[in-house]
């Protein structure tokens, strides 16, 4: 995908990675589209073929693709996964976060972004067990009590895959996203030569050997079809 327009060089970019932007660039973006995307990820076992930061890479890549269409800023991905596959199934290479901590971080980031005059904040998570969504919703709920002029939403990528694809864990869908956003990070040859299971391999969903860069691109297109108009409607609502 193209991330070139997030480069810090244009004086008046329409979107960008928040940490890469100078103050006047942020002003220019916010004047047109006062929206901040907060990609939410995890550090979590994603089987032998995929990196543990997959959820972060996926969420950040999707947020950048949406922002490229709608405008806005994209924060660095926050790798605080609640109920990772470590407590769930005992897989190592996973750093688990309490729901209280994730909610508190979400709350403070939301309030700070409202203080920075963003009128819409979307917590966009690539890690989506119910405990994660509940924690982010709790953070957003608390922020709403404090920052009444900003809309706070919690979205997860699997809500926007349409009927064609299904959210999974280290399966064909997630692996395709990862292959699209960072092709060299996947090694399908690292997988054992047998069917993969949740208990044995930490894989949920279709076999990751069905993944491809092209499928990742198609999935992203579906997500954009299901999100960009929603974001534009939100921006129109706030005027």
* Residue ranges in contact with Zn ion by CB under 5 A: 54-55, 174
- Strand, coil or helix: what is 79? coil
* Nearest alpha-carbon partner for 147 in 123, 174, 179, 117: 117
- Number of residue whose CB is nearest Zn ion: 55
Our CA angle for 167, 68, 239, nearest 5°, is 100
- Please identify, using beta-carbon distances, which residue of 43 and 235 lies nearer to Zn ion: 43
The distance of closest approach from Cβ of residue 169 to Zn ion in the complex, given in angstroms and rounded to an integer, is 5
- Please identify, using beta-carbon distances, which residue of 107 and 168 lies nearer to Zn ion: 168
The distance of closest approach from Cβ of residue 46 to Zn ion in the complex, given in angstroms and rounded to an integer, is 6
Cα–chain center distance at 184? 20
- Please identify, using beta-carbon distances, which residue of 158 and 232 lies nearer to Zn ion: 158
Cα–chain center distance at 34? 19
Sequence-distant (6+) residues with CB within 8 A of 91 are 44, 45, 85, 202
For residue 188, the tally of other CB atoms under 10 A from its CB is: 14
The distance of closest approach from Cβ of residue 54 to Zn ion in the complex, given in angstroms and rounded to an integer, is 5
- Please identify, using beta-carbon distances, which residue of 25 and 94 lies nearer to Zn ion: 94
The distance of closest approach from Cβ of residue 155 to Zn ion in the complex, given in angstroms and rounded to an integer, is 15
Distance (Å, whole) CA 181 – CA 45: 18
For residue 87, the tally of other CB atoms under 10 A from its CB is: 12
The distance of closest approach from Cβ of residue 8 to Zn ion in the complex, given in angstroms and rounded to an integer, is 30
The distance of closest approach from Cβ of residue 212 to Zn ion in the complex, given in angstroms and rounded to an integer, is 18
- Please identify, using beta-carbon distances, which residue of 54 and 65 lies nearer to Zn ion: 54
- Please identify, using beta-carbon distances, which residue of 54 and 110 lies nearer to Zn ion: 54
* Cβ atoms of residues 38 and 122 within 8 Å: yes
């Amino acid at each position: 995908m193209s991330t070139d327009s997030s480069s810090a060089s244009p004086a008046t970019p329409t979107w960008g990675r928040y940490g890469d932007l100078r103050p006047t660039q942020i002003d220019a973006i916010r004047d047109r589209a006062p929206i901040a995307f907060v990609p939410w990820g995890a550090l979590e076992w994603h089987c032998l073929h995929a990196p543990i930061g997959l959820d972060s890479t996926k969420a950040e890549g999707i947020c950048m693709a949406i922002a490229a269409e709608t405008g806005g800023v994209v924060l660095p991905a926050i790798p605080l996964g609640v109920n990772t596959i470590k407590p769930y199934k005992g897989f190592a290479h996973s750093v688990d976060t309490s729901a209280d901590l994730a909610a508190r971080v979400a709350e403070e980031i939301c309030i700070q972004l409202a203080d920075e005059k963003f009128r819409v904040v979307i917590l966009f998570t690539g890690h989506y067990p119910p405990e994660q969504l509940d924690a982010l919703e709790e953070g957003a709920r608390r922020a709403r009590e404090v920052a009444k002029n900003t809309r706070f939403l919690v979205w997860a990528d699997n809500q926007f895959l349409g009927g064609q694809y299904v959210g999974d864990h280290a399966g064909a869908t997630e692996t395709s996203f990862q292959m699209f956003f960072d092709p060299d990070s996947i090694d399908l040859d690292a997988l054992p030569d047998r069917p993969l299971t949740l208990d044995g391999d930490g894989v949920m969903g279709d076999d990751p050997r069905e993944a491809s860069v092209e499928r990742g691109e198609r999935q992203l297109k579906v997500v954009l079809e299901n999100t960009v108009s929603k974001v534009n409607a939100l921006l129109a609502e706030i005027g």
